[in-house]
Amino acid sequence: MKLWLLRPALLPEGNDPWEPWYDKAFGFVIRAETEGEARELAHDNAGDENLEGIITPWLDKKYSTCIELTEEGEIGMVLRDFARA
C-alpha cells in the first residue's frame, strides 16, 4: 500500500469550495494502492466542500492535489491542518 497526501489546490477567489472555511476538510493522508482510490476515499469522507453533483473537489485535479508520500525527504511535519475561529 502507498500513502497519499491530499490538499486543496491554490484556487482563484470566488471559485474556492473551501470558502467559507468552516465545516470542511482541508487535507487527508490516505493509505491506498492508487491515486484514484485515495481520491475516492477523500471524497467519501469530505465535509461541506463536497457539493455532490456540483463540485467534487477531492475527485477533481483542478481543485486538489494528491501526491504519494515516500520515506524519502527531510525531517518535518507532513500535515497540520489547523484553523482558528
State residue 65's pLDDT score.
97
**Count of domains observed in the chain:** 1
**Phi/psi at 75 (5° precision):** -65, 135
Does 81 map to a domain? no
Does 75 map to a domain? no
State residue 84's pLDDT score.
72
State residue 85's pLDDT score.
67
Does 80 map to a domain? no
Q: Answer whether residue 2 shows pLDDT above 80.
A: yes
- Tell me the residue range of the domain where 24 lies: 2-69
CB 58 within 8 A of CB 36: no
CA dihedral 57→67→31→50, nearest 10 degrees, is -10
User: pLDDT tens for residues 21-78?
Assistant: 889 999 999 999 999 999 999 999 999 999 877 899 999 999 999 999 998 888 988 8
